[in-house]
Amino acid sequence: VFALKDAGELAEGATAYVSLEPCNHYGRTPPCTEALIKAKVKKVVVGMVDPNPIVDSKGLERLRDAGIDVTVGVEEELCKRLNKAFIHRIVTGKPFVTLR
């Protein structure tokens, strides 16, 4: 959301690369899907689908419904490693903790 704001008009017609599926619900920020649509991006490349049941691929559907080309699964294993702590919390309900 903040990167799109910073890009301003330069985002129009661009391709956005994201490691996790953009959300389509309100949380601490408005939905990322709405920011991408408002910015008039042409394509969104998504590393992995969000495992959060609240998201449930609704972000992908919303982008496609808005006419945005969506590609999913690019560098998926890398994105899963990048989002490991988030995925663990969503799947187990417990924080991801590393001790030394």
> 25-31, long-range: CB within 8 Å, 24+ apart, which pairs?
25/54, 25/55, 25/58, 29/1, 30/1, 31/59, 31/62
Tens digit of pLDDT for each residue in 39-91?
A: 999 999 999 999 999 998 999 999 999 999 999 999 999 999 999 999 999 99
* The residue type at 79: C
Domains along the sequence of the chain with CATH: 1-92 (3.40.140.10)
- CA–CA dist 64, 43 (Å, integer): 10
User: Model pTM?
Assistant: 0.89
Q: Convert the pLDDT of each residue in 23-40 to its tens digit.
A: 999 888 889 999 999 999
